[in-house]
Amino acid sequence: MLPKVLPMTRRRRVFEGKAKVLYEGPEPGTLVQYFKDDASSRDNRKNGTIEGKGVINNRISEYLMLKLGEMGVPTHFVRRLNMREQLVREVDIIPIEVVMRNVAAASFARRFGIAEGTPLPRSIVEFRHNSDELDKPLVTDEHITAFGWASPQELDEIMMLTVRINDYLSGLFFGIGLRLIDLKVEFGRLWEGDDMRIVLADEISPDTCRLWDVKTSEKLDKDRFRQDLGKVAEAYQEVARRLGILPEGVILDVVEKKE
């Protein structure tokens, strides 16, 4: 029989981030990942709420993690528990955000003086340290291995998995009329006895990917929030609708508060 999952309030909170809360799971080695409606930009200049986002991202991330799992990409995902929560395996998070870029956008376009929307000669990977206090600085493989955030072997595995994730998701999104401009993924170490595997962790959603409509180049991701483009919740809803997984009864109003 499956262990009973305690209601949210009775579980011990392990970590609270900007968009998610992690609670102790129902059995050792598991966590419950709770998706909030809160949104912020990386520089924290903008904070707000996108109503219904947590419900939609929980669904989208479940769907994409399961698809990637079927493709042979190991993930931390176990199963969705309810509208806002999913059960995941507890992993030792590697403190690096891996960003894969297919098309120039945002800070990357500015950094290199390339027009936003220019396809890159090939997909380019970048790494950021995941520290909010340090404003997630760009780092190279030299920093990662010298500071011991990941070993050279682990970094090879992370690169191989990221290329597969990007290739697979580019195709999946193209099939529903969306261009995967870039994406951010995080990985963790999953221990099974003495064996360790690198697995995909965190989430994959319009919070962590840039998705543009193939025909109109309309942005259907968190940039609508970051850049005050309006219709933020509708964009998340549209991505879920195209994936064929729109949850019913989600209220889609955007309530933003600026600080």
Binding mask 215-254 for ligand UDP (x = CB under 6 A): -------x--------------------------------
End-to-end, the C-alpha distance of the chain in Å comes to 47
Beta carbon nearer to ligand UDP, 5 or 231: 231
Q: Please report, for residues 47, 162, 229, the alpha-carbon distance to residue 133 in angstroms, rounded to integers and kept in the order given.
A: 16, 26, 27
CB of 80 to ligand UDP, least distance (A): 21
Binding mask 111-150 for ligand UDP (x = CB under 6 A): ----------------------------------------
Residues 71-100 that bind ligand UDP (CB under 6 A): 99
Beta carbon nearer to ligand UDP, 77 or 108: 108
Any idea of the CA torsion for 101, 220, 116, 182, to the nearest 10 degrees?
0
Pick from 34, 35, 63, 108: which binds ligand UDP (CB under 6 A)?
108
Residues 158-187 that bind ligand UDP (CB under 6 A): 182-184
Beta carbon nearer to ligand UDP, 53 or 222: 222
β-bridge partners, 48: 39
> Residue 172 phi/psi, 5° resolution?
-60, -45
Pick from 210, 220, 225, 250: which binds ligand UDP (CB under 6 A)?
210
Assign residue 135 a region: left if phi > 0, alpha if psi is -120 to 50, beta otherwise? left
Is there binding between residue 106 and ligand UDP (CB under 6 A)?
yes
The pair of three-digit structure tokens given for residue 103, joined into one six-digit string: 């098309």
CB of 45 to ligand UDP, least distance (A): 12
Q: How far apart are the C-alpha atoms of 165 and 183, rounded to whole Å?
A: 10
Residues 6+ apart with CB under 8 A from 233: 50, 51, 52, 53, 252, 253, 254
C-alpha dihedral sign at 126, 146, 198, 76: negative
Pick from 44, 82, 107, 140: which binds ligand UDP (CB under 6 A)?
107
Q: How far apart are the C-alpha atoms of 53 and 203, rounded to whole Å?
A: 13
**Applying CB under 6 A, which part among 27-35, 54-62, 105-113, 151-159 lies near ligand UDP?**
105-113
Beta carbon nearer to ligand UDP, 154 or 221: 221
**Applying CB under 6 A, which part among 3-11, 67-75, 84-92, 101-109 lies near ligand UDP?**
101-109
Q: How far apart are the C-alpha atoms of 51 and 198, rounded to whole Å?
A: 33
8 A C-beta contact, residue 36 and residue 46: no
Residues 25-64 that bind ligand UDP (CB under 6 A): 42
8 A C-beta contact, residue 169 and residue 201: no
CB of 200 to ligand UDP, least distance (A): 14
Positions in the binding site for ligand UDP (CB under 6 A): 42, 99, 105-108, 182-184, 207-210, 222
